[in-house]
Amino acid sequence: MNNDLILLGHGSGGRLSHQLLEELIIPQLSSVPVAGQNDAALLNIGGVKLAFSTDSYVVDPIFFPGGNIGDLAINGTVNDLAMMGARPLCLSVGFILEEGFSKEELARILASMREAAETAGVAIVTGDTKVVPKGKGDRIFINTSGIGAVEHNLQIDGASAQVGDKIIVNGCIGDHGIAVLSAREGLEIDSGIRTDSAALNGVVASLLPLGSALHVLRDPTRGGVATTLKEIALQSGVTITLDEKSLPINPGVKGVCSILGLDPLYVANEGKLLAIVAPEQAEEALAVMRRHPLGKDAAVIGEVTGTSSGKVQMETLVGGVRGVEMLAGEQLPRIC
């Protein structure tokens, strides 16, 4: 087979994305600081600790239940900064518009962006707009970059998970991916599921007082909870064991996944975070999360059970055990 081409799966956030990053992008760009496996780079500029992150948004369709590409582009970068325990300060926004795109739709997207930025408490301070000829883009692509202030001395990092730690998620998984899929042409399932897109910096701010008990924060976006936990297990060199019955999943998400043969553990989220916390502080972390409006369905979904190999496994609903791997390529609906 020809392995010389970029495939859609290289952007899925799963194993192919990792391969592209590790085999091509990082080796070529190693002379500049790269975020590596974390959501943002940590910079120390003149004694001031900053987090810096960038992300591009190419979602299809651009409007979906509960949100659109605009609020997604704000919340996504705010969350990447927040996952370093940083306080997001300001963002840049770059638009790539396709010739013929409607101004009315752009206005709606901009209004959502303004509202999302206000909610997150960040300022949009610089930006750029390019227009490409008809057929050379897909209506609208948005890039956002952000800077956040790191005001703690904690080691919040994908490599900090320790044996015994509890894994907490702030709510139901898979809502964003299923909301977008439901709105896609040809499917039009009325699942009632809305995107969970939200800025998580408020939830993170409420967790920071846990101090050194807070080991890892990560938002499980593309690739879903499974891929994110696999990354953390590899980075930390630990075994993670999930408890399937404790995974919070909306019935609508379960239903659509069951019809299409998708696994909710691999479906994207845009307003969820995984917090890996020392066991003695786990109950408190859960209580703190549940007091926040974005964490009322928070649950402990597993724990770090060993020091070996970067393995993730799941005790299934019925008491069996199975492995959990990274997303391979795109999740594709099955044939029957």
Chain residues binding other proteins by CB under 8 A are 1-3, 5-9, 14-16, 19, 186-187, 245, 251, 260-261, 263, 314-325, 328-336
Minimal distance, residue 172 CB to other proteins, in Å: 16
Minimal distance, residue 336 CB to other proteins, in Å: 5
Judged by CB, which is closer to other proteins: 293, or 320? 320
Judged by CB, which is closer to other proteins: 5, or 32? 5
Tokens 């970029």 belong to 6
Query: Judging by beta carbons within 10 Å of its beta carbon (0-12, 13-18, 19+), is residue 21 exposed, middle or buried?
Result: middle
Cα three-residue angle 204-172-314, rounded to 5 degrees: 100
How far apart, in whole angstroms, are the C-alpha atoms of residue 213 and residue 197? Answer: 27
Judged by CB, which is closer to other proteins: 306, or 329? 329
Could you tell me how far CA 175 lies from the centroid of its own chain?
12
Going across the sheet that includes 321-323, the strands are 214-218, 274-277, 166-169, 299-306, 239-243, 312-315, 321-323
Judged by CB, which is closer to other proteins: 16, or 82? 16
Pairing of strands 239-243, 312-315: parallel
Judged by CB, which is closer to other proteins: 32, or 335? 335
Minimal distance, residue 301 CB to other proteins, in Å: 17
Minimal distance, residue 254 CB to other proteins, in Å: 8
Minimal distance, residue 100 CB to other proteins, in Å: 19
Judged by CB, which is closer to other proteins: 19, or 129? 19
Start-to-end C-alpha separation, the chain: 26
Minimal distance, residue 6 CB to other proteins, in Å: 7
